[in-house]
Amino acid sequence: MGPDGGTGPPRPVPPPATGSAPEPVGAGTRARSPGVGVLAVVAAANVLLWVLARPPGQPDDRYLGELVGAEAILLFSCSLVLMTLLRPIERAFGGLDRVALWHRRTAVAGAVLLLPHVALATSSAIPDLSPVGTGLGDLALLGIGFLVIWALAPGLHAARWHGLVGRLARATYERWLTAHRLTGIFVAAALAHAAVVDPVLDRSTVLRVAFVVTGTAGVCAYLYREFFASRVLGSHTYRVGAVNRAGPTALEVGLDPAGEPIRFTAGQFVVVSFGGLSSWQRHPFSVSSAPSQPRLELAIRANGDYTKDLYDQLRPGLPAKVVGPFGGFDYRAGGHDQIWIAGGIGITPFASWIRSIGEDFDRDVDLYYTVHRAQDALYRDELEAVAARCPTLRTHIVSTDQHGVLKAFDVLRGAAGRRNPWVYMCGPPAMVKALDHDLQRAGVPAGQIRWENFALR
């Protein structure tokens, strides 16, 4: 789902969420991407190298422990490389949402491998073990473990975990993101730990070189992301031109370019930092304006510390920096018959699509926009005006207080007679996941269901 619809790598831009930062929601399009294949080949090649280059005299248990430890470092490095926001990586994975998903998966897989590494690598005594190396290993293990538990805490809390996990689950995205930025330091500590205490690396030049190269790549990616990415990606200077508080949590912001405006495709999102608030803190937001409009318009839901500050304090005249665009949420990649489903602030990318529609619009679309109350619907007048002049676009406002929760059956019944429609969704994670599951059970091909996928936290 888009950066504004739902909860929110990546979560950092990390990313690349509901109004405050990108959030995970699942698995966008199921089309295969070359980036996933590269990850699989690199991970498998590292294991094969350790199997073939095993030096003599190494106890089986301990060697297996060192192997999984090296694989963990490789996966952490891949995770850090994925979040550099480099364009070739985004293209290789089919969108920044998919990059964020695999960033999360590789990090969690690396953390899981640390458990057998510790158990097996200590099964045989290592002579003259350096206390410095041991301390670095403990730091890395505790730091990475804590960050992974924090990242998974919302899901664990849903399973009725309490205590520390419950408190972490309730922590704001902004606090999690601040801690998440320490990941590279803990990976560097793990790299130094292995270089000091791992006896295998002392006995194999090939394995030592491979280990140092993969670990250093991750640390370099981390340093690039923290200190140089914003300069390489470049930013566009804007000024807040309009602020509209559309309800108790919805904020519509219009940005006027102070220089060269950003070029984007309808449905994409940008990373924005506002001057005068939180020291230019960066957050991703979906764009609601059309690419042809001079003013860049954003829709934000105030559900985190930072976005609540924006809702209360943002005012016209403040400067802003915009980086991007990112994402590949584009209806033009789908077939003729389509269903668009928006929930709450998730209407934002669809608003950009609709504002971009011209006389050459060649899709047959039913747009379902679900909100708690009918008066909560953003852009309602615009949606209805476009539908009035475009007979192949039909809008349906679904208010849960009157009609109940939107179900896949309701959506498909309205699209009766159309074969294999393409479905595009953006909204709260629970809604999107449920509809995705039920639409597939009803026969909609998985490859024709598309939604931005931000599981940043």
Closest by CA position to 266, among listed 288, 285, 283 = 288
Spatial separation of the C-alpha atoms in residues 457 and 444, rounded to whole Å: 28
Span 94-146, pLDDT tens digits:
777 788 889 989 999 999 999 999 888 776 666 656 788 788 888 888 988 88
Q: Which helix (H) or strand (E) holds 107?
A: helix 96-121
Span 161-202, pLDDT tens digits:
556 666 776 666 667 777 788 889 999 999 899 888 888 888
In a domain, residue 305? The reply is no
Indicate if 221 and 361 belong to the same structural domain: no
Q: How many domains does the chain contain in total?
A: 2
Domain of residue 69, CATH code: 1.20.120
Looking at 199, 231, 263, the residue that finishes a domain is 231
- Structural domain that includes position 202: 34-231
Spatial separation of the C-alpha atoms in residues 151 and 147, rounded to whole Å: 6
Looking at 231, 247, 278, the residue that finishes a domain is 231
Span 362-388, pLDDT tens digits:
899 999 998 888 888 888 888 888 888
Spatial separation of the C-alpha atoms in residues 444 and 131, rounded to whole Å: 58
Dump strand ranges (E) for 344-429. Answer: 364-371, 393-399, 422-426
pLDDT at 178: 77
In a domain, residue 430? The reply is yes
pLDDT at 240: 94
How many C-beta neighbours within 10 Å does residue 280 have? 14
Phi-psi region of 31 (alpha: psi -120 to 50; beta: other; left: phi over 0): beta
- Output the pTM of the full model: 0.75
Low-confidence ranges of the chain (pLDDT < 70): 1-32, 123-129, 154-166, 169-174, 230, 278-279, 416-418, 453-457
Looking at 169, 202, 231, the residue that finishes a domain is 231
pLDDT at 367: 92
